Structure 1
Amino acid sequence: MNGQPPTTSTRPARAPGAAGGFGLGVGRVLLVSRPALWVNTVGVLVTGVWLTGELFSASPALWALLAYLTLPFNLLIYGLNDLSDRAEDALSVRKGGWQGARLRDGEAGSLLGWTLALNVPFLLLLAALLPAGALAVLLLSAALFAGYSVPPLRFKARVLLDGLSNVAYALPLVLPALTLHRPVPWLALLALCAYSVGKHAFDAAQDVDGDREAGLVTTAVRLGVPGTARYALAWFVLAAALLWPLSRLSAAALLLVCGGMAVWLLRRPDVRTAARLYPLSILSPWVVGGVSGVQLVYLLVRGTF
């Protein structure tokens, strides 16, 4: 004690969420990672395990991959996207809920801190566990997702590259084969790549007006809603054709669900129809993946795969 009266700090208090580092709450971080879409990463990896001929694997590398492709990897995908799209998201009526967060003032630094803290340690661990080929594919997938959102590449604002870069969603399919030194399922990979490009275009149709207003020239903006519906349909047909030799039932499910969505949008080619069909698009990986997964599990249990 020096006998001086206590001083009162004149620094302004920080607003909630304004701090850098980890000021963002866990619930908010989960919202940014869009748990409804985790099936696009986790489901693909699990399907890849089944395509190696195993129902489960005791490989520590695959279990680490499974954990990484939940919150950390999806925070990389959607966190970077939300950081780069703050201006566009402010104009989007569908952001701010389960379809994606609308970042508040001061949350950017905290979100970036969470993204780095959850991804860097996992990537270092996986670098020690994975064979070189598997690690290269994982890093390529992460780089494509980062390039989709982050300048100067920002594939999202580049015609054709916005959808083609979404093959990143398909790449985890081959990680189990590369990790366990099994044959790579090339035909299934190509089918999933085609599906991913088509689905990106279809989902972007609902954002045509908002992206155009924000000055973004995407494939969907360039083609318009009718052209985007035709473009997506062509990719869905290609995906089904590639799946046909592997599973006619899976190919038929993809055509029925995804092709049906594109045809519906083509019949009523406007942004409102695209927005109404979006929940079905979210469910499409569950439906098509479920049909394929049940077949794979059945064949594996019978020992006939």
Structure 2
Amino acid sequence: MTMLGAAAYLFRTSRPRFWLYLAGPVAVGVAYAASDTGDLFTPATLTLFAYFLVPANVLLYGVNDVFDADIDAENPKKEQREVRYGGDRLVPAAVGLSALLALAPLGLTPRIAWPWVAGFLLLGAAYSAPPFRLKTRPPLDSVSNGLYVLPGAAAYAAVAGGHPPPLAVLGGWLWSMAMHTFSAVPDIDPDRRAGIETTATRLGERRTYAYCALCWALAAVAFGLLDPRLGLLLGLYPVAVVGIAVSGIDVSQAYWWYPALNTVVGALLTMGGLWGLVHG
């Protein structure tokens, strides 16, 4: 494999459509933690954003692909929008390098942020890798995906010097649980054929929609208790999933709309924080 081919392969492994799922929370955390504009762009915040934009995604999805090689043989997504791991050494090496690169944000952030970064690393590996393989232990597969809120919590702690509001962590965790479980709906049949049990395979498609709607509704309530405007914004998610469920839209198609929806919602959350920073 040429260097260009290896780079393209790792690029697809890292799921570029989902890069902002980890880096976006960093921007949100910084925007709400900052006390003045000088807090926005510092060595710590820029390093956190850079790490969670690419290396963290290589780590998270690389571990997933290595330990899911047998399962992915039955998954049609791997033939189109994603890449199927072929047993090469490139991905494990890239995962190892990405883990080492976590020393950069750890070295530039205060100790109060370290548990959040460490929590991401531990859950990111435990989700796919043995002996835990949380992704095959419902409902831990869903609960463990609160890991997506941890980069934002780390950024908030690094800037504010204190931990983020518990309601924000709870709301983000519930949101992540719903997003993960919704993303597993297109995989229900391939996972069942491979003998893999998840929250989605256990509940089935219709009840999984209900589970996601409930988690997203609770997330909206948690954020609404912090600020009613945040609750209204997050309220888009339970409405959207109910609309998909009752309309009969193919979830395999709807699933790919969510990176755009999440980017818009994340941008609005960030702009809300910046507006409050500038206008008090």
- Contact kept in structure 2, 1:51 and 1:185, CA below 8 Å: no
Return the alpha-carbon distance in structure 2 between the equivalents of residues 191 and 263 of structure 1.
19
Residue 15 of structure 2 is matched in structure 1 by: 34
How many residue pairs align between the two structures? 277
Asked if the contact 1:203/1:281 (under 8 Å) is kept, the reply is no
1:102 and 2:84 matched: yes
How has the CA–CA distance of structure 1 residues 183 and 136 changed in structure 2, closer, same or farther, with 3 Å as cutoff?
closer
- The answer to which structure, 1 or 2, has the higher relative contact order (CA under 8 A, 6+ apart) is 2
The runs of 5 or more residues in structure 1 that have no matched partner are 1-15
**Matching residue within 280, 285, 292 for 2:257:** 280
d(CA) in 2 for partners of 1:196 and 1:212? 23
Aligned partner of 2:205 among 187, 212, 225: 225
TM-score by length of 1: 0.84
Task: Give the 5 Å matches for 1:47-66.
Answer: 47-53=28-34, 54-55=36-37, 56-66=39-49
Residue pair 1:32, 1:101 contacting (<8 A) in 2 also: yes
Paired residues of 1:244 and 1:251 also in contact (CA < 8 A): yes
In 1: Cα distance, 2:218 partner to 2:147 partner: 18
* Secondary structure in 2 matching 1:170: helix
8 Å contact kept, 2:32–2:277: no
2:220 aligned residue:
240
Q: Deviations over 1:15-65 (max 9, x none)?
A: x48xxxx89711111110011111111110011001113445343222221
Share of identical aligned residues, percent?
A: 29
Q: Counterpart in 2 of 1:261?
A: 240
The aligned residue for residue 277 of structure 2 is 300
Residues in 2 aligned to 1:287 and 1:67: alpha-carbon distance in whole angstroms = 20
The partner residue of 1:46 within 27, 32, 35 is 27
List gaps (5 residues or longer) in structure 2.
none
Distance 1:27 1:213 in 2: 30
1:82 alignment counterpart: 65
Aligned-pair CA distance for 1:155: 0.6
CA contact (8 A) 1:250 1:288 kept: no
Equivalent residue number for residue 200 of structure 1: 180
Change (3 A) 1:83 1:292: same
Indicate conservation of the 8 Å contact 2:112/2:162, yes or no: no
- Max radius of gyration: which structure? 1
Select the structure that is richer in helix: 2
1:165 maps to which of 144, 169, 178 = 144
Cα offsets for 1:100-159 (capped at 9, x unmatched):
31123x42x211011212331x22333332222311210111110111111111111111
Task: Specify the alignment match of 1:4 in structure 2.
Answer: none
Report 1:85-234 matches (<5 A).
85-98=68-81, 100-104=82-86, 106-107=87-88, 109-120=89-100, 122-180=101-159, 181-182=161-162, 184-234=164-214
Tell me, yes or no, if the aligned pair for 1:38 and 1:74 is still in contact at 8 Å: yes
Higher deviation after alignment, 223-232 or 176-185: 176-185
CA distance in 2, matches of 1:24, 1:143: 30
Distance 1:239 1:144, change over 3 A: same
Cα contact 1:174–1:184 (8 A) shared by 2 = yes
Q: Distance in 1 between matches of 2:22 and 2:28?
A: 10
